[in-house]
Structure 1
């Protein structure tokens, strides 16, 4: 039997309730030369039972189980079994559009010298449900050095050639978050170039809550990966001779990281903890914080894509007072806090104008700054 062209590696830890959408999206692909490796990372739910049902439906799906070791270890376990020329890492709660693999296939034929291919992605609550936002990539070429300060997209929106995986190495099991960014950073340092497909091919499940996220864990991982950007990477040996992020730029990068995860903490209602954490890190890094910097509080990790009327009302009722308390604790005046709240909840406030006054009048009010 010929080897599959694509290997899709799917880690799963207690996400059986999402597997029907994820694996079903593979069975619905118009391109058929693929294999899927589902890695059960110590789940205690019905992951194994559902996997068995899909194995009976399609022999292209493999299933392995291991004790719970984390996302990176699960992806690495799948890599050890993968036989495809190209690798795609798909989380169990996400899914692919039906023409995803076919479109990737056509891109690889047109660009045989490239090792990375990137597609557009959209945030959904569920298949066929509400689409909150979509992102279409357009930039082609080397991903370095831009990748040192920003990730290049969700893992399942990026196809990677196997020979590059062999050079980059495995995912870092010591990282509890940002392991994909670390992986792409190494790819960039090896000179990888990317081809962007400005079409939505994958879906990212967007859960309208940050209550289950761990801001401190995310910040620690972001800090570690950013620190690595200032140093040669011993994992790559002498394969690279690249420039590094200047240590003088690191404080500003750290500032943006912290403000982003503070948005998660504030969404969890923890203003007191957020104030103490910010003051501690600010003293350490000696940041010069501008008003616009606080826009990072609103991100896809927190409330950036809350867009229905009910979601907005709840967000403004529950979270806006917490954010106001946070700014007050940092010493901002009442007028400054009013302007900062308009900044961090701007999308929702503008959307409310559209709900209240209609498309045209709402747009006019927004343009005049009446929100």
Structure 2
């Protein structure tokens, strides 16, 4: 009853937002939580702010590590987490005070991932309209933000977040990893997550720096999960025939689906499936 939830808050050069973020953790109506603040070698005053919260409430913990990137920081926090369920929360974002309460009611129903409706704030505001989850859509793009619930057991099974993904999309890779062998996803109808839109962000920097970082990131993800993409998407031609919208804005996916490597994997998969 009342399982513990471990909230993991990595922080690198986000100290200016950290108080606002952690206040939304403290305000939770569900009480059985711990919050692990991971200082990823940040040069700002993250440590000072984090230690203030540790003194304020014993459910906050502070962990310092050498800078290794977002995936590394999340993994370090989850490694020492004592909760059954994990909720990553970036230091510049916020959660609704009932997010933990509403999710906990669904924990015993067999879901692999539980997330919610979301709103944007900052340089943009309004509801964050994301595509409806399906395995096929997940093979094309990510529609589940990082602040979603999953179990520590599933994190262990897939080896955690991939630390090679230093430019972004580590969430997409992680969701594929824990869902590709099966699993159910629940999206709560309530707005539980608030996503800060900034003028500069990891994803915007990747887009601004051309295709090089995107290519590196996509190649890691597609090579790791080639069987998943083959199973869900089939060939480029069959995907195009079913729904052109799925690939209309993903030129790199087009090139991957038409590549010799993908076509060979597709043939091998179909052979063994028969």
Shared fold (TM-score greater than 0.5)?
yes
Give the equivalent residue in structure 2 for 1:43: 42
Is 1:134 matched with 2:131? no
Distance between the aligned counterparts of 2:18 and 2:78, measured in 1? 20
**Do the aligned partners of 1:118 and 1:197 also contact (CA within 8 Å) in 2?**
yes
Q: Secondary structure at 1:83's aligned position in 2? A: coil
Distance 1:78 1:25, change over 3 A: same
Distance between the aligned counterparts of 1:56 and 1:66, measured in 2? 20
Q: How does 1:16-55 map to 2 (within 5 A)?
A: 16-55=15-54
Aligned-pair distance for 1:243? 1.7
Aligned-pair distance for 1:232? 3.4
**Do the aligned partners of 1:116 and 1:195 also contact (CA within 8 Å) in 2?**
yes
Is 1:191 matched with 2:182? yes
Is 1:245 matched with 2:238? no
Distance between the aligned counterparts of 2:75 and 2:221, measured in 1? 22
Q: How does 1:1-371 map to 2 (within 5 A)?
A: 5-109=4-108, 112-125=109-122, 132-135=125-128, 143-156=134-147, 158-176=148-166, 177-208=168-199, 213-215=205-207, 216=210, 218-224=213-219, 227-228=222-223, 231-232=226-227, 243-246=231-234, 248=236, 256-257=249-250
Aligned-pair distance for 1:45? 0.5
Q: Secondary structure at 2:34's aligned position in 1? A: strand
**Do the aligned partners of 1:7 and 1:82 also contact (CA within 8 Å) in 2?**
yes
**Do the aligned partners of 1:7 and 1:85 also contact (CA within 8 Å) in 2?**
yes
Q: Which has the higher contact order (CA 8 A, sep 6+)?
A: 2
Distance between the aligned counterparts of 1:225 and 1:188, measured in 2? 17
Bigger Cα Rg: 1
Q: TM-score, normalised by structure 1?
A: 0.59
Give the equivalent residue in structure 2 for 1:331: none
Deviations 1:188-246 (A, max 9, x none): 2120211111111010001145796132465225522562376238xxxxxxxx82533
Distance between the aligned counterparts of 2:195 and 2:140, measured in 1? 22
Distance between the aligned counterparts of 2:179 and 2:107, measured in 1? 19
Distance 1:16 1:106, change over 3 A: same
Extract unaligned runs of 5+ from structure 1.
234-241, 260-280, 287-371
Distance 1:258 1:206, change over 3 A: farther
RMSD: 3.3
**Do the aligned partners of 1:138 and 1:196 also contact (CA within 8 Å) in 2?**
no
**Do the aligned partners of 2:40 and 2:68 also contact (CA within 8 Å) in 1?**
yes
Distance between the aligned counterparts of 2:194 and 2:95, measured in 1? 6
Give the equivalent residue in structure 2 for 1:341: none
Deviations 1:149-196 (A, max 9, x none): 12132111x111222222222111111211110000112212021111
